[in-house]
Each structure stands twice: as structure tokens, then as C-alpha cells.
Amino acid sequence: MARFPGVDYVLFDSQLNEQELMVRQTARQFVDDRVIPVIRDCFREGRFPSELALEMGRLGFFGANLDGYGCAGMSNVEYGLIMQELERGDSGVRSFVSVQGALVMYPILTFGSKDQREKWLPRMAAGEAIGCFGLTEPDFGSNPAGMKTTAKRDGDGWVLNGEKTWITNGSVADVAVVWARAEEGIRGFLVERGTPGYGTSDIHGKLSMRASTTSSLAFSDCRVPASAQLPEAKGLKAPLACLSQARFGIGWGVIGAAMDCYETARSYTVLRKQFDDRPIASHQLVQEKLADMITEITKAQLLALHLGRLKDTGKIEPAHISMLKRNNVRMALDCARLSRDLMGANGIIDEYPIMRHLCNLETVKTYEGTDHIHALVIGERVTGVAAYR
């Protein structure tokens, strides 16, 4: 199996310490050995490689930047480097790990009770239990504040009614973090698979994120005990805090997809010959595209590293993460498109990873706050004027 050589134009690695390089190498090797050999078939079959979950748990990938309860307690830069390598394999694999760690384990750790933490976190860190995060609804995507799913107090418990959709890991999850509107505002609940009144159905026909399960969740007079409520999650700021964690990982992850596209196209253009038996890499128009790609990847790496260091010192803000997510996803999509072009007809076949990444990145542009919504976050930050409505 060919080893990924990495993409490092400005001695980026000199900014990483030994521990960070070791974590990246572990994730890199896992992707080369375990993800790349199966991912084309998974994408074709529309199947998440669930056989990798326990192994990823053993490697400490789930909730890698969280402390305690069996989590690896890594730095945010180490966590970002893992996300980068996983998404070099496939955005679906990175999404699985993002949802598990940032959208399920993080809220249980941050907003959950001691019992909830003890019950779920060690098993989730090990990959023995899987979670999903239900925020989006059929009528409320970019504007989750409008959610219609309700939570009504009923004796010593709660009754949930409503629908969530586009939920990663939905039908495979042992537990769903569900956001619902209660009389006192938006609240979070842990709903276990098999709870009466809770059902899931998978979304089919996706041409993007095919190696990832995406489902709808339905709640019909679904009764959960009082102990299912996340006691410290109060208001929309709770799910938004989870999204900030996940978006940070996405900002790193997409660099991996871009690196894979760039390196595939670069090595192809050096070997592929046209016109007088010359490699297509000898043409100026081809070199310009490679120069654009490596420049943008390098800028994205530096932004991610800087924000990782800010997060590690507690100085990061949600608006910083919006810039990271928006810029780096755009950059990765541009690299995927340029790479596809440079490979001619071979750019569209799944023998190469480019088209798979390109299709996946269309989802990454939309979920966790669309490109537009992050532009509005940045716009509000620099003008002081909110323009969402």
C-alpha cells in the first residue's frame, strides 16, 4: 500500500512538536492501512465501514481532545491533525468521528449529569456505543432557533414530539442527543435506541457522503425519564457550543481532502504525457493550477494551526471558527475541482479519490453552518450588525 508523503511547502512540520507528529503519523498510517483499501467500495455501496469503529476507539480518536472518562485528553492541534488524516481518507469517516466526539461526547461531558457521563463516555470513547446529534428539522436547517420539536413535562419525565432530519449516524446510534423546545426554552435530551415512540429511517439517493449513514428521526409521544435531560444545557447556545467544536474539526479535516486531491493530481501530471511525449506538468497552465493549490493548502494549514493554538490556550472565539470552516471548505472544494480538471477523463472515475472528495465536500460546505451563514457570522463580527434576517 502506497504511503501518503504529506504536503508541506513551508516547513509546516517544524511548527509541530514530537507528540503532534506522532499522533498525525498514527492517524496517517491508520488511514493508509485501513481506510484507503475499503473506502471506494464503501462509497459505491453507500456503506459506512462500521468495522473500523472499535479500532478507532482503541487509537483514541473518539473525543480525542476531551479529558477523563476514557478519553485521550489530547490537545486541540493533535485532534485537528487526526481529523485532517481521517478526511484525507474520506469525509464520511471524519464525520463519524466528529459527530461522536464533538456533537455527542462533548455535550454529555459539558452539559450532562455524572450518571450520564459515566454511562456513556467510556463506551463511546471505546467505540462500543455510537451517538448522533439531532438538531436539523425538515423546516429548520440554517435557522435551528425555529425548531418545532417539543418537549413537554409529564409527571417525572418528558414527552417528545417532532422530527429531525439529515442526521449523521441516526439509525446506527445507540443514543441520540435531541434538541427540543420546552416551555422554558430549548433543552437537550439523551434518547436511547429502542425507546417507544422513537423511530429512524435512512435517507437514500445521496451522491455525496455515501460512506456515511444519514437518517431522519421521528418522535411520536416519546416518553423519556427526567434523567434523560442534559441538566446544564439551557437555550440554543448549548447546541451552538457543540457545533463550534465540530466546525473546528471540519476546518482541519478538509485540509486532508485537499491534500489528497492535490497530491493525486500532482503525481499524475508528472507521469501523464501529451503532445511530443512531454508530461502535462511541463505546461504553464498546469503548473499554475498546482501552484494555486499548494498555496491555498499552505494558507489553510497555517490558519488551522494558529486557531488550534488559540483553542489550546482558551482564546478561540466562534467567529474565528467560522472563518476556519468557511475558508478551508472553499479551499478544499477549489482544490478538488482543479485536480479533477488536471486529470482529464481520469478525474471522474473512482479509481482515483478526486470525484469522491469533490462530492463529499459539497455536503461539508452545507452542514455545520453553510458557507453563507459563516459569511454572516464574520460579517457581524466585523460590522457589529447582524444580517441573518
Ligand X SMILES: Cc1cc2nc3c(=O)[nH]c(=O)nc-3n(C[C@H](O)[C@H](O)[C@H](O)COP(=O)(O)OP(=O)(O)OC[C@H]3O[C@@H](n4cnc5c(N)ncnc54)[C@H](O)[C@@H]3O)c2cc1C
209-222 burial, b for 16+ CB within 10 Å, e for fewer? bbbbbbbbbbbeeb
> Is the Cβ of residue 90 or residue 263 nearer to ligand X in the bound state?
90
Q: Is 363 in the site for ligand X (CB under 6 A)?
A: yes
List 20, 87, 263, 368, catalytic entry: 368
- What does each C-alpha distance from 283 to 259, 264, 279, 289 come to in angstroms? 22, 17, 8, 10
133 contacts ligand X (rule: CB under 6 A): yes
Give how many residues touch ligand X by CB under 6 A: 21
Rule CB under 6 A: is residue 110 a binding residue for ligand X? no
Smallest distance, Å, CB 211 to ligand X?
A: 11
Indicate which single residue of 109, 135, 224, 297 sits in contact with ligand X (rule: CB under 6 A): 135
Q: Is the dihedral of CA 381, 306, 293, 39 positive or negative?
A: negative
Classify residue 53 as exposed, middle or buried by CB count within 10 Å of its CB (0-12, 13-18, 19+).
buried
Report the residue number, 50 or 370, with the smaller CB distance to ligand X.
370
Q: Would residue 118 show up in a list of annotated catalytic residues for this protein? A: no
Which residues in the 201-260 window bind ligand X by CB under 6 A? 209, 214
Report d(CA 95, CA 254) in Å as an integer.
11
Nearest to 259 by CA among 336, 345, 364, 327: 336
Residue corresponding to grid cell 482529464: 344
Cβ distance to ligand X smaller for residue 78 or 368: 368
Residue 148 binds to ligand X (criterion: CB under 6 A): no
Of the candidate residues 43, 189, 198, 367, the single one contacting ligand X (CB under 6 A): 367
Give me the least distance between CB of 140 and ligand X, in Å please.
7
Q: Name the grid cell of 100.
A: 461522536
**Does 361 participate in binding ligand X (rule CB under 6 A)?**
no
Closest Cα to residue 134, out of 227, 219, 59? Answer: 219
Other Cβ atoms closer than 10 A to 248: 27
For ligand X, the closer of residues 80 and 131 by Cβ is: 131
The piece of 29-37, 165-173, 284-292, 341-349 that touches ligand X (CB under 6 A) is 165-173
Residue closest to 49 by CA, chosen among 60, 57, 38, 58: 38
User: Exactly one of 15, 29, 282, 370 binds ligand X (CB under 6 A); which one?
Assistant: 370
* Contact between 9 and ligand X per CB under 6 A: no
Q: Give 171's DSSP letter.
A: G
Hey, which residues are catalytic here?
368
Give the residues lining the site for ligand X (CB under 6 A). 99, 133-136, 141-142, 166-168, 209, 214, 363, 366-368, 370, 372-373, 376, 388
